Amino acid sequence: MCAARIRVNRGQSKLNGTGKTLMAGILDKERIVAPKNFNRWLIPPAALAIHLSIGQVYAFSVFNEPLTRIIGVTESAPQDWELTTLGWIFSIAIAVLGVTAAFGGRWLERVGPRKGMVIAAIAWAGGFLVSALGVWVHSIWLLYLGYGVFGGIGLGFAYISPVKTLIRWFPDRPGMATGMAIMGFGGGAMIGSPLAVNLMDFYSGPDSAGVAATFATMGVLYFILMIFGAAIVRVPHPEWQPAGYQPEQASTKKMQTSGHVHVDQALKTPQFWLVWAVLCLNVTAGIGVLGQASVMSQEMVGISAEAAAGFVGLMSIANMLGRFLWSSLSDYIGRKATYSTFFVLGIVLYAAVPSIASAGVIWLFVLSYLVILTMYGGGFATVPAYLRDLFGTAHVGAIHGRLLTAWSVAGVLGPVIINYLRDFQISQGVAPADAYSLTMYIMAGLLAVGLLCNLAIRGMQERHLMDERQLVTE
């Protein structure tokens, strides 16, 4: 009887402050307001479920080789797709992610995290299902539309949906909270890769490479996990605060704003563009190395292809752990100091790597790159808390969405710098082992620019803050 009464209470319409009746649907923000004594540690699993699912995007390359033998099955047939054709699937997904996060963030602010997560789940899982159909009928355009466009939309919404919610639940430790979620994005590839390989082994046979069935299965599994996240997510009660937390004390910190900046206004501040440059340069330095780690380690220190695969695996773990550890540390030492550490340490390590490689000290070479990768991941995970400090919480999700365009730019810039410079140097007669030295020094230079941008960031000026009237209408 009690449970029935609870259900009735939760299902009924409520009155808002103006006396207007609103019937909240199960996805609406109004329906997921937690009671005052809600345990906030129930929220990170919701965010992790979302990010673990979409982190699969970094493991998409496991499908590349099987997708080149859909018709030939055991080996590629003349009508089969080529790797260059398939490469566009991942590129489209990342590009659509950036666009969705940039333009969808404002809408997500209005509708709340649950609706955002459900839309993301439908788009992400739908992308897999459309791709399965694409493989089944052998249409590359369906893969571009499925994984590329629908999947990219799912990625964009899913990436930013839980971030603001976590920041609101953990105002005393926003770095740690967002680090937990964004760590999931790093960990998602580690799940997606073996899962896809095992499923393709299971479904493959004399007539099929097993890719279509694998796509369909993964779509269903990710849909379930993401809907689980959407079902358990809650937003804090307006009067809720963590025990012992005093917002007045927190806002007296030099870099922490006492108010909120509108997303449109944020783009007019130097702080936004400086943080944009900081993220872009930090990601550029890491992403190029990440993409070329296998070949680079074989050419620079002469390890075997198998050992290089192990090196790439360790880098993934470093990338994931860095997301949690650095962002948690930033709650204590501050975001500015954290990014300054990334840049100073990064400059030293990038500048030292060519000498370490030529000396043949493999363990130090590996250790240097692992530290670099922790800082690459840490850069992603610390930035939402940096934005919250500078711009307040009101529009932090939308501002974060716009900032992710820095990731898209870095995604192009990093690999281009590494690949182009390597090819150029080799064409000039430089030995492959030495071809990365110039690139490493250029990366160190980019990090030096990033350091200057970070040092130039100041606390938010009062004139950019929203007034009481704007806060009410927003």
The contacts of residue 183 (CB under 8 Å, 6+ apart) are: 48, 51, 320, 321, 323, 324, 377, 381
For helices 362-391 and 396-403, angle between their N-to-C axes, nearest 10 degrees: 140
Determine, following the binding rule CB under 8 A, whether residue 5 of this chain makes contact with another protein.
yes
Cα–Cα distance between 159 and 151 in angstroms, integer? 12
Verify binding: residue 364, another protein, rule CB under 8 A.
Answer: no
Stretch near another protein under the rule CB under 8 A, chosen from 46-54, 210-218, 386-394, 461-469: 46-54
Q: For the chain, how are helix, strand and coil distributed in percent, rounded to 5?
A: 75, 0, 20
39 lies in the binding site for another protein (CB under 8 A):
yes
Please report how close the Cβ of residue 3 comes to another protein at its closest, in angstroms: 9
Q: Which among 28-36, 105-113, 282-290, 389-397 is the span making contact with another protein, rule CB under 8 A?
A: 28-36
Q: Contact between 36 and another protein (CB under 8 A)? A: yes
Asked whether 189 and 53 are in contact (CB, 8 A), the reply is: no
CA distance 53 to 189: 9
Residues 301-320, interacting with another protein (CB under 8 A): 303, 306-307, 309-311, 313-314, 316-317, 320
Angstrom distance (rounded) from CA 458 to CA 464 = 13
Q: Is 366 in the site for another protein (CB under 8 A)?
A: yes
Question: Among 452, 232, 224, which Cα is nearest to 336's?
Answer: 452
Asked if residue 125 binds another protein (CB under 8 A), the reply is: no
Indicate whether 295 belongs to the interface with another protein (CB under 8 A): no
Backbone φ and ψ for 33, nearest 5 degrees, come out as -75, 125
Question: Phi-psi region for residue 114, left (φ > 0), alpha (ψ -120 to 50) or beta?
Answer: alpha
Output the smallest distance, CB 22 to another protein, in A.
8
The verdict on 241 binding another protein (CB under 8 A) reads no
- Nearest CB to another protein, comparing residues 14 and 110: 14
- For 15, list phi and psi in degrees, rounded to 5: -105, 135
10 near another protein (CB under 8 A): yes
What the block records as the tokens of 351 is 């500048």
Q: Which stretch binds another protein (CB under 8 A): 247-255, 262-270, 299-307, 436-444?
A: 299-307
Considering the rule CB under 8 A, would residue 194 count as an interface residue with another protein?
yes
| DSSP class per residue in 374-413 | HHHHHHHHHHHHHHHHHH-STTHHHHHHHHTHHHHHHHHH
- Whichever of 8 and 431 has its CB closer to another protein, that residue is 8
Question: Whole-number minimum distance, CB 317 to another protein, in Å?
Answer: 6
- Least distance from C-beta 146 to another protein, angstroms? 23
Nearer to another protein, 73 or 307 (CB): 307
Of 88, 228, 273, 441, the residue at the interface with another protein (CB under 8 A) is 228
Contact partners, residue 181, CB within 8 Å, separation at least 6: 44, 47, 48, 50, 51, 162, 163, 166
Candidates 127, 134, 156, 184: give the one binding another protein (CB under 8 A): 184
Minimum distance from residue 311 beta carbon to another protein (Å): 5
Member of 4, 17, 243, 249 binding another protein (CB under 8 A): 17
Q: How far is CA 343 from the centre of its chain?
A: 20
Residue with Cβ nearer another protein (2 or 137): 2
Using the rule CB under 8 A, give the single segment among 37-45, 109-117, 269-277, 380-388 that binds another protein. Answer: 37-45
d(CA 144, CA 92): 7
Q: What is the DSSP letter of 14?
A: E
> Could you give the CA distance from residue 71 to residue 53 in angstroms, rounded to a whole number?
29
For another protein, the closer CB: 42 or 456 = 42
> If binding is defined by CB under 8 A, does position 190 make contact with another protein?
yes
Q: Which is nearer to another protein, 12 or 84 (CB)?
A: 12
Of the pair 48, 153, the CB lying nearest another protein is at 48
Which phi and psi (to 5°) does residue 447 adopt? -65, -30
Are the C-beta atoms of residues 474 and 270 closer than 8 Å to each other? no
473 binds another protein (CB under 8 A): no
Q: Which residues bind another protein (CB under 8 A)?
A: 2, 5-6, 9-10, 12, 14-17, 19, 22, 30, 33-39, 41-42, 45-46, 48-49, 52, 184, 187-194, 225, 228, 232, 237-238, 303, 306-307, 309-311, 313-314, 316-317, 320, 366
